[in-house]
Amino acid sequence: MMNNVVKKKLKNGEKAVGAFIGIYSPEIVEMLGYSGFDFLVIDDEHGAFSPRDLENMIRAAERVDLVPIVRVSYDPSCIQKALDRGAKGIQVPMVNTREDAELVVKRAKFPPIGQRGAAFITRPSRYGKDQGKAYLDAADDNILVIVHIETPEAVANFDEIISVPGIDMAFIGPTDLSISMGYKEEGAQHPEVQKVIAQLRERALQKNIPLGTIAASPYGVRQELQKGTSFVAVVLTSVFMTAFSEVVDAGQGAHQA
């Protein structure tokens, strides 16, 4: 089983930069890998992916040395399916309590740690070439388990959530957090939201657990890393729309000139 280089980086106090993608495109995955990104988050919460789509995206990521992570949906079986397709990590939305976090670990880890169903005929086990304790232990060691903190309840329970054995990282979802706090207009830029995010970052640093979030621009990525965030992702849809708008604006400016 491929070593999870991003999980190793985070354990060593290093940084990782990646991208969220909600569009089925193995070609874009390859471009991200060739560009030097560390990881890819395949967004199965909001994106339109079949299990076969997930597998093909994961396969493309492996080809270009990207660590494939899946942000799962709310279906109870989604963690199992993502891992059996070959995901090297999961991001689980709306984890609000210690009990929620414990359930995530149960679904992501094999017994005796958790309750993940074992099958030695899937991609991660090379369709049966890898079996037994060595494979099961390697899977448990290498899977990156990430929980989303995106509600006031999760903020209140933050210390308990990140203390659950098997949770590797907390990821701040700024959009959902701002909406759940009641700031639908200013969103994540509202001072109260920024205050909460700063407090969570400080608590994570104190407890030596990596923190992740999204950034809207290259400058935003740099800012987050400088503040101590370990795992920063851009959203490709936003990157594309910004680039497209810049091209249109340039064309309109040339036409007016």
For residue 58, the tally of other CB atoms under 10 A from its CB is 25
Q: What one-character DSSP code corresponds to residue 49?
A: -
CA–CA dist 112, 106 (Å, integer): 9
Which is the catalytic residue, given 46, 148, 190, 255?
A: 46
Please report how the helices 98-108 and 78-85 are oriented relative to each other, as an axis angle in degrees rounded to 10.
40
CA–CA dist 125, 21 (Å, integer): 26
The backbone torsions φ and ψ at residue 82, rounded to the nearest 5 degrees and listed phi first, read: -65, -45
For residue 182, the tally of other CB atoms under 10 A from its CB is 11
User: Is beta strand 16-21 parallel, antiparallel or unpaired with respect to 39-43?
Assistant: parallel
Contact call for residues 119 and 125 (beta carbons, < 8 A): yes
Convert 146-166 to b/e letters by CB count within 10 Å (16 or more is b).
bbbbbbeebbebbeebbebeb
| 46 counts as catalytic | yes
DSSP bridge partners of 242: none
The distance from CA 160 to its chain's CA centroid, rounded to whole angstroms, is: 20
Amino acid symbol at 256 = Q
Contact call for residues 157 and 164 (beta carbons, < 8 A): no
Residues with a known catalytic role:
46
